[in-house]
Structure 1
Amino acid sequence: MASSDPRPIVQIDIVSDVVCPWCIVGFRQLDLALQQQNVLAKLRWHPFELNPTMPPEGQNLREHIAEKYGSTPAQSQQARDHLTQLGDELGFRFNFDDDSRIVNTFAAHQLLGWAEAQGRQHPLKLALFEAYFTNQRDVSKTDVLLDAVQAAGLDRDAARAALESGTHVAPTRDKQQFWTSRGISGVPSMVFGGKYLLTGAQGTDTYEQALQRCLTEAA
């Protein structure tokens, strides 16, 4: 059935990882831009692993940031404070502490691919962001993933079966390769209208400009 909503629709593809804080910040900025421009989005989330070789036990987040980026404890705390403030301004709660961990996200991406076929990918993505950043849960654990599935209105047993079957392993790898082969090396990366790429959390004003460009061309 066709939508009766008269607002224009812009397709937006978002390459993202569920443990990337800037991905939820960028989405919240985008969502605000959509509201301010009175535009609907056809959103599709695509997989990207910040740490594809992360072992099952994960790693302390502060230690990981120090190893990967050379950040000092003071710089790490400053970044956390900045993210927390940004999140508060955008209506999203970041909770960091000394025990926060970075974890493997490949299973989460498999479930997001499965959820797309169920028409519930977006709610699951948001539930995973909340589970990891707000509730400090380990989104590499099956029970945590299934709790997010349930919160997104999806069937828990069907999701477990999808994971255990392994049928989403190869498609998820293929999707990752598709984007990395096209030069995507950081997230969030958003493609507006299939044409215009913005990488990083660019801010509400920049997203409004991208939306307007798409609408102008469509008109």
Structure 2
Amino acid sequence: MTEPVQSLHIDIVSDVMCPWCLIGYRQLQQALVATGTAGEIRWHPFELNPDMPAEGQNLREHVAEKYGTTPEASAESRVRMTDIGAELGFAFRFSDDMRMHNTFNVHQLLHWADQHGRMHALKLAFFDAHFTDRRNLSDKAVLADVAGETGLERAEALAVLADQRFAGDVRDAESRWLKQGVRSVPAMIFKHRYLVSGAQGVENYTRILEQLAQMQD
């Protein structure tokens, strides 16, 4: 068996509104465990819907409007994602009134959390808040609540959102990834060099990790 890669750096460009980003991450995690690879994961911002209004939009209406998806196809897709999530130990709880949200504030809080060593925890908490608990991520108070639940200071989170102090940093980061050709998520970049797009499945991620280990050898 191939020796595992030590402290493999993995950049993940994603949006917490993207169910396949969560699925891809969970698949990658299983592959890391299966190969004994120590993954050093770093999250980066991407907005699926940067022009989304502050109040968000009904998920079914959004998918129909943006992709032309029929109600039947949309329902089938949600069932498929729910089943895949269950296999990966994650509970997708879609509902007819579920909404898509503008995530610019989410990304600003993630940038702030990174300064406190809590970005990864907050990212996963936002996935849970949106897909499992169906919390309103358009609401700044809810965002601050989630931050507080992960051990960050809720009052400071509200201050960060009030003065938008990291807006420029997030815009710059988003722009850098767009300039590097990232147009869809999840986008995973291994060792700062190898881009893999989409949720590839546990087996494919396992093969990728094994190939990287062989290249290191």
TM-score normalised per structure 1: 0.94
Secondary structure in 1 matching 2:49: coil
**1:3 corresponds to:** none
**2:22 corresponds to:** 24
After TM superposition, give the deviation of residue 127 of structure 1 in Å.
0.2
Aligned length in residues: 214
After TM superposition, give the deviation of residue 164 of structure 1 in Å.
2.0
1:160 counterpart = 2:158? yes
After TM superposition, give the deviation of residue 7 of structure 1 in Å.
7.6
Partners of 2:74 and 2:36 in 1: CA distance: 37
8 Å CA contact retained: 1:192, 1:210: no
Structure 1 unmatched runs, 5+:
1-5
Secondary structure in 2 matching 1:55: coil
1:208 counterpart = 2:206? yes
Secondary structure in 2 matching 1:92: coil
**2:44 corresponds to:** 46
8 Å CA contact retained: 1:112, 1:124: yes
Aligned partner of 1:45: which letter? Answer: W
Aligned partner of 1:9: which letter? Answer: S
Q: 1:36 aligns with which of 31, 34, 37?
A: 34
Secondary structure in 2 matching 1:201: coil
Taking the TM superposition and a 5 Å limit, the aligned residue runs for 1:1-219 are 8-219=6-217
Partners of 1:49 and 1:129 in 2: CA distance: 14
Q: Residue deviations 1:156-183, cap 9 Å, x none?
A: 1222222223220000000000001111
After the TM superposition, which parts of structure 1 deviate over 3 Å for at least 4 consecutive aligned residues?
Answer: none
Partners of 2:199 and 2:160 in 1: CA distance: 32
8 Å CA contact retained: 1:110, 1:163: yes
8 Å CA contact retained: 2:5, 2:216: no
Structure 2 unmatched runs, 5+:
none
TM-score normalised per structure 2: 0.95
8 Å CA contact retained: 2:9, 2:190: yes
